[in-house]
Amino acid sequence: MSNSLTIIRKKGNKQSFIEAYDETLKLWPVPYEELLIPTRFGDTHIIAAGPVDGEPLILIHGMTFSATMWYPNIEPLSRFYRVYALDTIGDLGKGNVTRMMKTRQDAEDWLDDVLSGLNISSAVFAGHSMGGWLSLNYAILAPEKVNKLVLFAPAAGIGKVTPKFLLKVYPALAFPSESRIQKEIEWFVSPSFQPDEKSEILFRQFIVSGLNCVPCQRVNPIVFSDMELQNLSVETLLLIGADEVIYNPVKMLERAIRLMPNVTAQMIPKAGHGLTIEQYEKVNEAVLSFLAQR
């Protein structure tokens, strides 16, 4: 196991990255604590909020974002749950990566280690984009550890990602510049979305992170087979923005409804891939309603 792995680019500035991260974290409207949980892939950074005796809820962010992205959602969730917002190991968050995740099994092992380090046997899992894929993968491989599942525009998993995704994302990742990353953001969100001051701070973190960091993980978000989705017994809420761009949202919802036996699927109007930020009030309402059902 190597200790030389890092998300910081060769000419990247770690301090700028940390400062941008902490600036977004100031947006969190609730008390929180930061944890470091050792795993076989390195130390995972977690932002924890909510009652310590509440039912555990694991949040997993989208690729090249971080746990800070949940600032519009954390207050209602942390009223009822002990929320653990993870920085995915090897992605653009805090923590230390010592071994690269490469496979579906690695992704399961990482989350197993996180739960073990938190001393919890199961939790509600909720994830956005790549975080949605990681959550869905975990529910398929370790269903006994997932009490309920919330998917916000999961990357692949249920629907095939359009080739246009690579054309929009790869240049910003491989040859980062402020303008390329800004164009990536504008492509992801709905044309009707008008960023406010808070979302601009998050998007600034996204830009600074992209300029100074690069993901250090190689898990490929595949589309799961019909059988895997049909066998998924976990109660699932699937939320997709009506203006989603990484796949056809209608076809994606249709496949989920056709195959997944315990899915509640909903389209969020006037939202793109960043629905948890773009239409956070509608998203929060849908999530709380789903989680309240017993």
Bridge-based pairing state of the strands 55-60 and 123-128: parallel
Rounded to the nearest angstrom, the gap between the alpha carbon of residue 103 and the centroid of all alpha carbons in its chain is: 17
H-run or E-run covering 112: helix 104-118
Instruction: Give the DSSP H or E segment for 44.
Output: strand 42-49
Residue 117 burial (10 A CB sphere; 0-12, 13-18, 19+): middle
Active site residues: 129, 244, 273
Burial 67-89 (b: 16+ CB within 10 A, else e): bbbbbbbbebbbeebbbbbbbbb
Instruction: Provide the 3-class DSSP secondary structure of residue 289.
Output: helix
